Amino acid sequence: MSFKVRNNKFKKNFKLLFGDSAIVVLKNCNLDYVYFFIFKKLIKKLYKIKNYKNIKQKIWIYLMMNVPITKKSKNARMGKGKGLLMRWTCRVSNNYKLFEFYRINYNILNNYTKVWSKKINIPLALISKINY
């Protein structure tokens, strides 16, 4: 099984579980819920793209918002608890898969990867099993 990687920074043997292509994060970061919302919004656009062959397309999402970030008010003194919940984030390590795709056009995924990378200022790479 050979993988086609378009980004020269990414050199690692990668295992895809379900799909034939994936989007991978290239550095450690925290992803806020706002970024996750942008991903979901653009993925909905992906589903609206009609395929003339009526091929089933599938997407697997590996992001889980599991780290709460809290903040105390300005007038709070020492102690007095942890503070109110501000937002949820997801800690993502280097070479972490964000999404896996099955039977979605490589060129469309490549364009979306570039758009996401620019919007969230985090380097992303597209990995594909199929040689194009």
In order of their start, the domains of the chain are 20-72+82-128 (3.90.1170.10)
pLDDT at site 51? 54
Give me the tens of pLDDT residue by residue for the chain, a chain 132 residues long. Answer: 444 455 445 555 677 888 889 999 989 998 888 888 888 887 777 766 655 466 677 888 888 888 888 888 888 777 777 888 888 898 998 888 888 988 888 888 888 889 888 888 889 999 888 755
pLDDT at site 1? 41
Token duo for residue 131: 């040689």
pTM: 0.76
**Percentages (nearest 5) of helix, strand, coil residues in the chain:** 25, 30, 45
Nearest CA to 112 out of 44, 53, 61, 58 is that of 44
Burial class (CB in 10 A: 0-12, 13-18, 19+), 95: middle
Nearest-angstrom CA–CA distance, 115 and 15: 24
